[in-house]
Each structure stands twice: as C-alpha cells, then as structure tokens.
C-alpha cells in the first residue's frame, strides 16, 4: 500500500467505501473503480499528445504511465499498448530523444481517447477476481486426417481412433467421445478418482521419502532449503527438463539467497562451499527421484560462482606461495648482506622442499623442556649436493646439479631412517634449490671458519 498508506485516512474503522492504492473500493455494490480524476488526467494527456508532431521520451513515459493504470482494470486492452511500449523501448535502446508521430501511433492514441470516454469501462465487478474453479478432468481432442486422438489430462492416457476416411461431421467425434466415456468412465468416477488420487499422493510421498526421510541428513536438510526457495519464488522444484539457461538463472538466484541470508536464524550469508553442498543435495535429489542429471554450469552461473568465491572467501586463510610472490619478496629485500642472503636461501629451500609437501610433515608440538613450539628444521649434514654423475660434491664446486635433503620428521618415515627428497638445478637465477643450498652451506662454512659457534641446523645463526 505504499510508504504513506496509513497516513492519509484511507483506512477508517469498518469503512466499506474507501480509496486505496489508486483505486475506489465500493464493498456494498461490489465494485472497484478507476477514480474519475485518473480518467480526466488520461484524457488531457492523450489530447496533448495527439497535438504533437514529435513525441519526446518524457512524453512517451507519461502516456504509457497513465495508460498502465487503466490496463490493470481492463485486461483486454493490454495488446493495444504494446506498440507504444515498443516505440518506448526502441528510443531507450537507441538513446534517441523521441519518435515522430506516425499514422499507426495516432490511430492507437485515438483508440485510447475513444475508450476513456466510455464511462462503463471505468469499473469492474469484484467477482471477476474470484479464482476460477479447477476442472475435474480435461480432454484434449485432436482430429487428424484419418485419426481422432483424445488425451486425458488427469489420467495421462490417450485413445487413438483410426478411420477409413476423414472425419467430416460430428457423428465420428461423438462416437470417439462415447468410446472414451466407456473406457475412462470407471476411472473418472468419484470413488475411482479418490482412490487414484490417494495412490498418487502415496507415490509422491515415497519419492519424497527417498530424499527427506533417508539416512542422508545433510542432503535432506539442504534439499528442503531448495524447496523453500522454489516455493517462495514460484519456481518448479524439479528443473531437469528446463533449458540450461533457465536452470542457471534459478541456481544463480539461489546462490544470491544463500549469500545474503543463508537459511539461518542470524540471517548470515553462507560461504561458497556451503552453497555448493546445497546444490549437491539438489543434484542428488534429481538423480534419486527422477533419474536425471543436472547441467546448470553455463557462463552466467560461472560468473556468479566466481564472484561468490571472491566475496565470501576467508580473510585469514593461508594463501599458497607462488613464484611471482617470491620474486617480489626478493625485490623488496632491504639488505644484501650475509645474514640476508642466508635468510633468502632458507626461503627458497622451504619453497621447494617444505611448502609443496606440507601435508607429509608430522604435527608440531611444544617442547616440554623449553615450552617453545618446535618447527621442522633441516640439519646441515642432511643437505647433500651431487653432480651429473651422482657424486657428492662440496658447496664451493660449481658443478652441482642436484640437491638432496634427508628429512627426519617425515610421515612416511616409519622406521626413523630419514626420507630423501631431491630437486634439480633450475634455470632461474634467484629461484634455484641448488643455488640456495650452495649459498647456505657456503655462508655456514665461512662463519665456522671465523670461529662462530653454530647449531646443527643449516641456517643456525650464532649471536657470539
């Protein structure tokens, strides 16, 4: 009723004749009427428009706006506005200032001007808004060349009556209807219909039980969310027979609903993997009940899915380390001294040996003696450089082609003998595991030569 529907005295106590939402309501006489001022406005707008040789976009919008109010009360007039709306849409698409007054437009406007002077069209009985009663049964009769086909909509059965010659009069059709009545009559009786309806309801209940009352709790719960969404928006629950573009639009709306509300008391949007799980339940239900496979992945849905992932990702989630990221870190190094080089070498080794197989490392626990959380470290003695022939070489020799690291905390090491992981020399100057291992070992050798006391690990740093 609009934002000010309660502020204009439209709803007086027990009022039976009132004005609301642009309509005059007369409950005792059972009539709703277009207000006379609306008719007068329409007359003046049409009269002014007919005197124009050129219709601006603003004038078109004004004419169509006042006509739409009349159309809502006279549905039969709806086709007569389509030409006006076509001109309006063409002006918008071409970004033109308006359209000239053509002969077709003038005739349409004159027809409307004649209509509004017929005052009996201004109102309509309220009983026209009553719902049309549903038919108990509908027969579709199709007459072909030598065949009469009658289809029962309720029973989903078909009777095909073939003839030697083409049906020319009503006798042949009456005979076909008589045959149908004899065949389908018992099924369409009151008792037969009730029994058939009861059986069909039980069939639908059994189908629903395979999804809702099964042992797959999360699937049944998520499918109920889909059912609620379809019922709220007037969509069919089963979408396997719809075109893929329409399926994608429906799933896109469901994704928007999950992102904004999420089917929870807090009305908090779901993350993408939650929405994906709900759609998995919908696909499972279609497969279980209708033996159908959904295919709603078209470009429109993929665009929505990518936006869903980006806008609902975890902010604190750890991102994978990539080559461009490492190169940017190398450019931003503030110092280029020995300790900075050692740190960079440890980063490159971790990138090749630790980060890419982090799922293989055992859990990190706190050291009970120190209370400090332990990390996975590599001992200097467990870093081995080899040449093309597999011979171990020192870090000072430039012929090293591969580096091996023996891990003592690997999940696959069941007998505590160490697990060896090997990487070969790359062509990148700054991202090479062999160059990083040589750099770390050379710096360690230099520090030991100067008398520093270092720990057993490859990148141990002494403060003395």
Q: What is the pLDDT of residues 85-114, one digit of tens each?
A: 888 888 888 888 888 888 878 888 887 777
Radius of gyration of the chain from Cα atoms? 40
Q: What is the pLDDT of residues 377-419, one digit of tens each?
A: 788 888 999 998 889 999 988 889 999 988 776 655 666 667 7
Helices 36-50 and 57-71 pack at an angle, to 10 degrees, of 140
- What was the pLDDT predicted at 76? 62
pLDDT over threshold 70, residue 34: yes
> Is it the case that residue 428 has pLDDT exceeding 60?
yes
Distance CA 378, CA 406 (A): 8
Half-sphere exposure of 314 (CA within 13 A, CB side): 5
pTM for this model (two decimals): 0.34
Two structure tokens written together for 28: 């005792």
For the chain, the distance separating the N- and C-terminal CA atoms, rounded to the nearest angstrom, is 82
User: Which range has the worst mean pLDDT, 9-18, 108-117, 216-225?
Assistant: 9-18
Mean pLDDT in residue range 276-300: 81
pLDDT score for 317: 52
Strand arrangement, sheet containing 147-152: 139-143, 147-152, 157-162
Dihedrals phi, psi of 442, to nearest 5 degrees:
-65, -45
DSSP string of 77-115? GGGGGHHHHHHHHHHHHHT-SEEE--HHHHHHHHHHHHH
pLDDT given for residue 402 in this prediction: 92
CB 458 within 8 A of CB 444: yes
Q: CA-CA distance, 420 to 416, in Å (whole number)?
A: 12
Residue 213 confidence (pLDDT): 47
Question: 298 - beta bridge partners?
Answer: none
Residues listed for the chain: 464
Which stretch, 23-27, 182-186, 404-408, has highest mean pLDDT?
Answer: 404-408
Tokens standing for 455? 């720990």
Contact (CB, 8 A) for 304 and 255: yes
Given a contact cutoff of 8 angstroms between Cβ atoms, the answer to whether 386 and 401 are in contact is yes
Cα–Cα distance, 87 to 106 (Å, whole number):
13
Picking from 148, 129, 130, the residue whose alpha carbon sits closest to that of residue 139 is: 148
Residue 174 in tokens: 């009456």
**Residue 28 phi/psi, 5° resolution?**
-60, -40
The mean of the pLDDT values for the chain is 74
Confidence of residue 435 (pLDDT cuts 50, 70, 90): very high
Q: Work out the pLDDT band at 228, boundaries 50, 70, 90.
A: confident
pLDDT of residue 131 exceeding 60, the answer is no
pLDDT above 80: residue 166? no
The predicted pLDDT at position 409 comes to 66
pLDDT at position 441 = 92
Q: What percent of the chain has pLDDT over 70?
A: 67
Cα 16 to Cα 184: distance, rounded to the nearest angstrom = 49
Mean pLDDT confidence for 259-284: 81
User: Which range among 126-140, 280-294, 439-453 shows the weakest confidence by mean pLDDT?
Assistant: 126-140
403: buried, middle or exposed (CB in 10 Å: 19+, 13-18, 0-12)? buried
Strand partners, 150: 141, 159
Instruction: Say yes or no to pLDDT of 57 above 60.
Output: yes
């Amino acid at each position: 009723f609009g934002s000010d529907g309660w502020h204009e005295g439209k709803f007086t106590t027990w009022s039976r004749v009132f004005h609301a939402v642009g309509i005059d309501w007369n409950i005792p006489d059972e009539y709703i009427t277009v207000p006379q001022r609306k008719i007068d406005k329409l007359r003046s707008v049409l009269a002014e428009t007919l005197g124009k040789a050129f219709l601006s976009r603003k004038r078109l919008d004004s004419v169509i706006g006042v006509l739409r109010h009349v159309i809502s009360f006279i549905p039969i007039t709806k086709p007569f506005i389509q030409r006006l709306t076509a001109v309006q849409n063409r002006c918008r698409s071409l970004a033109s200032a308006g359209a000239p007054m053509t002969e077709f437009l003038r005739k349409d406007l004159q027809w409307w001007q004649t209509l509004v002077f017929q005052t009996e069209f201004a109102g309509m009985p309220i009983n026209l808004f009553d719902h049309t009663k549903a038919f108990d049964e509908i027969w579709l009769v199709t007459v072909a060349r030598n065949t009469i086909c009658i289809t029962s909509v309720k029973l989903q059965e078909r009777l095909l009556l073939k003839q030697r010659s083409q049906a020319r009069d009503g006798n042949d059709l009456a005979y076909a209807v008589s045959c149908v009545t004899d065949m389908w009559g018992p099924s369409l009786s009151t008792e037969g219909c009730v029994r058939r309806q009861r059986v069909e309801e039980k069939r639908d209940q059994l189908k629903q039980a395979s999804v809702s009352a099964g042992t797959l709790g999360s699937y049944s719960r998520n499918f109920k969310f889909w059912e609620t969404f379809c019922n709220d928006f007037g969509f069919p629950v089963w979408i396997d027979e719809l075109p893929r573009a329409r399926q994608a639009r429906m799933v896109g709306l469901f994704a928007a609903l999950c992102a904004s509300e999420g089917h929870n008391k807090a009305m908090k949007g779901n993350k993408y993997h939650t929405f994906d799980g709900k759609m998995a339940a919908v696909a499972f239900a279609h497969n279980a009940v209708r033996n159908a496979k959904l295919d709603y992945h078209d470009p429109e849905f993929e665009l929505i899915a990518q936006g869903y992932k980006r806008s609902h990702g975890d902010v604190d989630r750890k991102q994978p380390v990539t080559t461009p990221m490492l190169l940017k870190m190398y450019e931003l190094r503030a110092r280029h001294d020995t300790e900075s080089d050692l740190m960079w070498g440890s980063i490159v080794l971790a990138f090749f040996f630790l980060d890419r197989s982090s799922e293989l490392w055992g859990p990190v626990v706190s050291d009970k003696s120190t209370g400090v959380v332990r990390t996975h470290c590599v001992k200097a003695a467990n870093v081995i450089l080899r040449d093309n022939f597999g011979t171990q070489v020192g870090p000072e020799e430039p012929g090293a082609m591969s580096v091996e690291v023996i891990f003592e905390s690997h999940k696959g090491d069941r007998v505590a003998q160490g697990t060896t992981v090997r990487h070969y020399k790359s062509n990148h100057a700054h991202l090479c595991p062999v160059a990083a291992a040589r750099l770390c070992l050379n710096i360690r050798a230099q520090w030991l030569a100067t008398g520093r006391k270092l720990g057993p690990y490859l990148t141990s740093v002494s403060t003395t």
